Amino acid sequence: MNHDQYPDSYIRGILNTVKTIAMVGISPKDNRPSYFAFKYLLERGYRMIPVNPGQAGKEILGQKVYARLADIPEPVDMVDIFRGAEHVLPVVQEALALNPQPQVIWMQLSVRNDEAAQLAEQAGLKVVMDRCPKIEYGRLSSEISWMGINSRTLSSKRAQVLGKGVQRMGLNSATSRGGASETLEPKPNKEDKFI
């Protein structure tokens, strides 16, 4: 697989299929990207399992933290790696030792390890590198546009806050709203200014 770019159908297929995600390297600090991504995916209905040896036995966002993948007492569909590229290979090797094995290895933004990716793919797993499932979910579900980002509309109206209990949105559309392939003309509102 070409890991420089992924078809939307590949990413969408993963996000529609996986239910349980183990996030390796999550931080308990609420200002860290791993915390944001974990919270976002948890609120979208995914079963999120935090993995961080320094936090083992504690909870992050109400979810018990495990020291390593092998300690998780249930099957995991996807391993989301929030560690530097030099730490990815041992995580993938540990994931491949699980029974059953996960379906997907996902490496976060700026994380790429081709050796680990090849090892996972040889074992039949799907691999994504240098991408964030939170960003991809928001983009493919059009949720990012719903929140006013890339909508081409400036408004003084406060955006609706999405919080606890947010349901998973559809990832089945062929394109995302507001993307370059759609030409949607917004209807003017007296409070909106179009650019």
Summarised one tens digit per residue, pLDDT across range 108-139 is 999 999 999 999 999 999 999 999 999 999 98
Three-state SS for 43? helix
Q: Does the domain spanning 8-136 belong to CATH 3.30.43.10?
A: no
Residue 91 pLDDT: 98
Summarised one tens digit per residue, pLDDT across range 142-186 is 776 544 444 444 445 554 555 554 445 566 654 433 333 333 334
Give how far Cα 190 sits from Cα of 152, 157, 184, 193, Å: 15, 11, 19, 8
Task: Compute how many other C-beta atoms are within 10 angstroms of the C-beta atom of residue 55.
Answer: 17
Residue 195 pLDDT: 42
Residue 177 pLDDT: 34
Three-state SS for 54? helix
Residue corresponding to tokens 């406060």 = 158
Q: Is the peptide bond before 33 cis (omega within 30 degrees of 0)?
A: no
The mean pLDDT of 44-73, rounded to a whole number, is: 98
Task: Compute how many other C-beta atoms are within 10 angstroms of the C-beta atom of residue 101.
Answer: 16
- Give me the count of residues in the chain: 195
Residue 55 — φ and ψ, nearest 5°? -120, 5
Residue 145 pLDDT: 57
Summarised one tens digit per residue, pLDDT across range 8-40 is 999 999 999 999 999 999 999 999 999 999 999
Helix residue ranges, H only, 84-188 = 88-96, 114-122, 133-140, 143-146
Residue 132 pLDDT: 96
Residue 110 pLDDT: 95
Percentage of the residues of the chain whose pLDDT score is greater than 90 = 71
> How far is residue 35's CA from residue 28's CA, in Å, rounded to a whole number?
7
Q: Are 145 and 175 in contact (CB under 8 A)?
A: no
Give yes or no for residue 194 having a pLDDT over 90.
Answer: no
Q: What is the pTM of this model?
A: 0.77
Please report the sign of the dihedral spanned by the C-alpha atoms of residue 116, residue 117, residue 119, residue 123.
positive
> How far is residue 151's CA from residue 192's CA, in Å, rounded to a whole number?
12
Q: Are 117 and 95 in contact (CB under 8 A)?
A: no
Residue 46 pLDDT: 98
Residue 28 pLDDT: 97
Task: Compute how many other C-beta atoms are within 10 angstroms of the C-beta atom of residue 97.
Answer: 10
Residue 1 pLDDT: 87
